[in-house]
Structure 1
C-alpha cells in the first residue's frame, strides 16, 4: 500500500522502488551517515530484513577510525578537484568479517562537493586476490587490466608459422590525438579513460579473442579463426564503438576516435614482430588518411620490403 509520503512525493517513491529492486549496492550519504541504502547494499554489508544501514555512521563499515578519516580526506580531495573517488577499500560487515570493495563515490551536486554523495560498492575480493598473484601481474597491464605486450606476443607466437589451416587476424588500434586528453585532463583521468576504453573493447569481441594494451594508447586484438574479411568487419565495429565512447569522470568529459590496422597472418609474416609491424603499418595509413578509419595490410612481398628494412 502506498504511504501518504509516497503519494505526495512520487519521485521519492520511485527512488525507493529502484533501490529495492536494482541489483546494485548503492547508498546516499550525508553528514557522515548513510541516509538511504539499496537492498543490495544492505546485504553486501551483512544486513537484512531485521537491520538496516540507513541512519548509521559511515564509520560502521570501515575497518578503523584512522582508515575512515583517511578515506574521508581522499574523498574530499577528489571531489574538490571535480573527480569522483574510485578506489578499492577494505570494508567490514556487520558480523566483523572483512572484504575488499571497489568504492565509486560521487557528489549528488558537484557545486556542493561537501554535501550529499552517492556511493556504489562492488565486492572485488576475489579479483584483488587474483591480481596479487605474481602470474597475474606478469601477464596483465596494470592500468587497463588487459593482457600486456608480453602476454599478447606469447599468444600470437602460438599462431605465427602454425600449420593449422584456420585463419588468424590481428587488429592494431591507435587512439587518435590521445595526447590532447592527457594534456587537458591530466594523467590520472587519462588512465581512467584507458581503463574504461579497454573494458569496452572486450565487449566488442568474442570471449576467445584477446585484447591487449601494448603501451600508451596502443591496443591489439588477436582474432583466432577469423579471416581478413571478418576482421575488417570487427575493426569497423570497434572503430564505431570507440567514436561513440564517452568518458564522464566527475566534471571531466572526453571523447576520442581511433585508427585501426587489420592484418591476417600469412607466410611472409614469419615472426611476431613482423605481424605487429604490419598491423602498425596499416594503422599508420589510417592515421595518414585523417584518422577514425580502418586500413588493411596487403602484402605484395616480404614484410621487410614493405617496411623498407
Structure 2
C-alpha cells in the first residue's frame, strides 16, 4: 500500500526536490518553518515538537500569533523582521514563545526571506530552544567570566586561568596564542556594528572548534582573541596557530546580503622562566603577533627566549 505522504516520483526535477524537502522536514533535527505573512505554510516535525504539537496537531496552516505570548510581542517581531529584511539582514534575536499547553520557553529566532529580492514574501524561520543557555547567562558568575558578545571567556577569566600556570612547578609545557584580526575596522566601517558583531560571534565559535576541550578561547579586546593551551609545547602550539590562521582566512561571513572575509595574525609563546608574570606572557605573545602584522599580515610568529621571533609562513 502506497504511503500518501510519500507518493511515487515521476522522475521530474520538481518531484525530486519536493521529496527531498519532505525528507528534510521530517527527519532533520531542526525546528524549521516557512512563513507567509502571519501564517505558517509548512513546518518541520521538530518545529512541531518544539511547540508541543504531535501526530494529532500541526502548526502548518496555523497563525504565527499562536506561538507568541501576546499581540504586541507578535506584531513587534514582524515589525523588526521587516526592518531587518529591508536592510538586507536576517532577523536574529531571542524571543519568548508559548507552547500548545501554555508553557513558555525562550527561542533564538533566525529568520531570512526565501528570496532576498522579495523581502516581504515567504520567510524561513529556524528556532533553537535557548532557555537553559539564557538562564546560565543571567547568572552573575557567568557574566563575570564571559564576554557578552561572543560568549567566550573574557580577559579577566583568561588572565586568572593563565596565572595558574605562570611560575608553576608542574613542568608541563603551556603555550599562549594571541590572535589579531587584520583590517577589522574596515568591516566595521563598511558593514556597521550589527554585522560586525555577528561576524565576531561566528568567528569566536569557529575558533572553539579548532582547539581541544581543555583549551581556553577568550576575547580580550574588540578584534583580539587569545587561546590558552595547557600541556602544549611550542611545536604543537605552532601547528594549532597555523590551523587557526588558515581557518580564519577561509572563514566567510554570510549575513543576509552581506558577505565579507578577513585574515589574521597569530603570535605564539610558550611559558618560560624569564616570563615571570601574566603581563609578560601576554606581552610576549602580543609582540610576536605585532611582528607578524608588520611583515604584511596573515602569518604566524613565535616568540623565543632571547626576545627574537621565529617565522611560520602563512
TM-score by length of 2: 0.94
Change over 3 Å in CA distance of 1:85–1:95 after alignment to 2: same
Secondary structure of the structure 1 residue equivalent to 2:29: coil
Q: Give the counterpart of 1:268 among 274, 282, 292.
A: 274
> Cα offset for 1:52?
0.4
Task: Give the Cα–Cα distance (whole angstroms) in 2 for the partners of residues 265 and 89 of structure 1.
Answer: 45
Q: Give the counterpart of 1:187 among 184, 193, 202.
A: 193
Check if 1:216 corresponds to 2:217: no
Secondary structure of the structure 1 residue equivalent to 2:125: strand
* 1:84-99 alignment, distance < 5 Å: 84-99=90-105
Q: Give the counterpart of 1:231 among 221, 233, 237.
A: 237
In structure 2, the residue matched to 1:143 is 149
TM-score by length of 1: 0.96
In structure 2, the residue matched to 1:174 is 180
How many equivalent pairs are there? 302
Check if 1:3 corresponds to 2:7: yes
> Cα offset for 1:7?
6.8
Check if 1:200 corresponds to 2:209: no
Check if 1:252 corresponds to 2:252: no
Unaligned runs of 5+ in 1: 303-309
* 1:1-309 alignment, distance < 5 Å: 1=2, 2-3=6-7, 9-10=14-15, 11-300=17-306
Task: Give the Cα–Cα distance (whole angstroms) in 1 for the partners of residues 160 and 33 of structure 2.
Answer: 43
Secondary structure of the structure 1 residue equivalent to 2:110: strand
Task: Give the Cα–Cα distance (whole angstroms) in 1 for the partners of residues 172 and 103 of structure 2.
Answer: 50
Task: Give the Cα–Cα distance (whole angstroms) in 1 for the partners of residues 271 and 37 of structure 2.
Answer: 60
> Cα offset for 1:14?
1.4
- Could you give the per-residue CA deviations for residues 193-214 of structure 1, whole angstroms, max 9, x where no partner exists? 0000000000000000000000
**Cα contact 1:6–1:13 (8 A) shared by 2:** no
> Cα offset for 1:17?
1.2
- Could you give the per-residue CA deviations for residues 8-60 of structure 1, whole angstroms, max 9, x where no partner exists? 63112211111101111100000210001000000000001111000000000
Secondary structure of the structure 2 residue equivalent to 1:100: strand
